[in-house]
Amino acid sequence: MSTITAGTAADAASAAVERARAAAVEEAAEDLGAEAAEAAVGAHLGSVVEEGGAVTHHFAAEVAGYRGWRWSVTLAAVEAAPVTVSEVVLLPGDEALVGPSWVPWQERIRPGDLGPGDLLPVDPDDTRLVPAYVESDDPAVEEVAVEIGLGRTRVLSREGRIDAAARWQDAHGPDTDMARAASDVCGTCGFFVPLAGSLRAGFGVCANEYATTDGTAVSVEFGCGAHSEIEVKVGSPVHVAALV
């Protein structure tokens, strides 16, 4: 009985280009039908010797929607046995159109994505939150900290407050178009409700139902045309006709 060594096995599998092509055509026929399968397997693009003496042959994929893809057929040869097909798959080439890499949902979600009935679990290691019993530099948090077992389990950390302040400053701060066009700032408006704790000095909530920011956190330096102290300038009570 003749023995096929690793070297001769790889040589045999490398030479079996037509065996690999036939396997690719057979695989294509399952989805495209026998008539279209032949045309779906294009030119031989080369072969690669795998570990253990197996050889993978690559053929151009002439399939609609698969530009740049290739048929990958892995052949193997063992002692006293003909070359066999181990695997047939479609793989993307260097110029293939492929979908973006998988990104976990917690990295994909964006502000405003949450809808009615949706649940958004918080990461246990979220740096924006700290246990309520941890000593804090925010007086408003300290009031909650003493309520162990009765108050909130976690409260905003310093990092969480800084993140929120930066976000609110960008959205409703002095550099926005609305604020630059306003005649006065929210800090002097009667509809401005200051926040509690360390954020009180810089932010509050708008309580003017006619303002676009009603119910929204705004900077004390923000402003709009619905300021409480805006007065309507009354013109001369003398009619133009009388003046003439």
Please name the amino acid found at residue 207: A
Residue given tokens 């976000």 in the structure block:
167
Q: Could you give the C-alpha distances from 177 to 136, 224, 238, in angstroms and in order?
A: 36, 9, 38
Residues 117-128 have pLDDT tens digits of: 877 888 888 888
Show me where the domains of the chain are located: 6-92, 124-228
Are 85 and 73 a contacting pair, CB within 8 Å? Answer: yes
Gyration radius from the chain CA atoms: 36
Region of residue 215 (left: phi > 0; alpha: psi -120 to 50; beta: else): left
Residues 191-217 have pLDDT tens digits of: 999 998 889 999 999 999 999 999 999
Higher pLDDT, 139 or 56: 56
Are 23 and 82 a contacting pair, CB within 8 Å? Answer: no
